[in-house]
Amino acid sequence: MACKACGSERVSTFNGEVAVHRPELGGLNESVVWVFPKLLVCLNCGLAQFAVPEPELSVLVQKP
């Protein structure tokens, strides 16, 4: 699979750990949603991509 940003074929998959919260300052006072996705990382330009798994996505949808 080629990188969507630079077209490089130098991509690799890594395990990830991401804490997701709302962007506004008030979001920092709310509990975070932990996501442990597979990351697709371009080893040329550094673009990283991942999909939020359904259980965590449903929590994000429910948050105000």
DSSP 1-24: ---TTT--S-EEEEE--EEE--SS
- When pLDDT is averaged across residues 18-47 and rounded to a whole number, the result is 88
At 24, the pLDDT band (50, 70, 90 cuts) reads confident
SS3 call for 27: helix
User: Which H or E run includes 60?
Assistant: helix 54-62
Calculate the average pLDDT of the chain. 91
pLDDT, position 55? 94
User: Residue 19 corresponds to which tokens in the numbers above?
Assistant: 């804490």
The rounded percent of the chain whose pLDDT value lies above 70 is: 92
β-partners of residue 20 are 33
